[in-house]
Amino acid sequence: MIEMFQNLKISFLQDYRYRSNFIFGMLTPIFTIIPIFFTVRLFNLQREIEWYLKGIVIWFFISQIIWGNGVILKREKDRGTLEQLLLVPKNIIYFVINSSIYFILKAYVSMVFIIFISNITFGTQLSVLMITYILLLGFPFYYSLSMLVSFLCINVHNLFPILQVILASLMIFSGLTYDISFFSQFIYSVNRLNSLYHMISLARISNQINVAIILTYEALYLLITGVISLILVILLTNRYIRKFKINGRF
């Protein structure tokens, strides 16, 4: 626990050291909803604004997690410290979790800020509690996904374009700002396997947590895919460790 708080302090001081990046990072939520504000006014979409905002709020948080975790292992490899982490399996998992706590908290604070500003600006009734419940429900899936991305990007030289392509692909098929049924029936049917799509769909069902929400198909699907994703991360971690011990390289 002490080490976790120490890592939080170090991450904050490193972030705050580059004040321009820190300030713009905190202002990102405002930049996120400004285009929505003008779109709503221009096309008279006041009745649909809550539908759009729920997708944007959830996507904003998840994209921060995937982006943040995606660079962790690559950064350690460039520093020459990844080999030490791979010697003991639990070390690398513990290290990634510790390293990601700061930007998870930062993304959550920004997300709450978006909800607060949106409720004031647009008169919506977005619930922080409901969105938090959905993010916790889907956490095993998208956190495992971010770990898989991190492992797959260890040997990638141009990391940021790859991450942008991954995020863009996920965004297109998440139903973020449009009904996914817009695509062909085949793509729509395949996309129903997408857990991110189910997270956003679940958020749009209601603003309150109740038994009906907890027992929905979307909620159960997120639990199942979360367990499967965690298993895949464990298997992939062991694969990289075995490969490193046998070949001495990744």
216, 75 contact by CB (below 8 A): no
Sole residue written with tokens 């001495």: 248
Distances (CA, A) of 168 to 128, 132, 230: 26, 23, 23
DSSP states of 48-82: GHHHHHHHHHHHHHHHHHHHHHHTHHHHHHHHT-H
Per-residue model confidence (pLDDT) at position 132: 92
Q: What confidence tens digit (pLDDT) does each residue in 104-140 have?
A: 888 888 888 888 888 888 788 888 988 998 999 999 9
Distance from C-alpha of 137 to C-alpha of 199, rounded to nearest angstrom: 8
DSSP annotation of 181: G
Q: How many CB atoms within 10 Å of residue 5?
A: 10
Phi-psi region of 75 (alpha: psi -120 to 50; beta: other; left: phi over 0): alpha
Distance from C-alpha of 48 to C-alpha of 178, rounded to nearest angstrom: 11
Tokens of 222: 């997120």
- Burial of 177 per CB tally in 10 Å (0-12, 13-18, 19+): middle
Phi-psi region of 88 (alpha: psi -120 to 50; beta: other; left: phi over 0): beta
Distance from C-alpha of 250 to C-alpha of 246, rounded to nearest angstrom: 10
Is the Cα dihedral 167, 132, 224, 153 positive or negative?
A: positive
Q: What confidence tens digit (pLDDT) does each residue in 181-200 have?
A: 777 777 777 777 888 888 88
Positions of the chain with pLDDT under 70:
1-30, 32, 40-41, 45-47, 86-91, 211-212, 244-246, 248-250
Distance from C-alpha of 184 to C-alpha of 150, rounded to nearest angstrom: 32
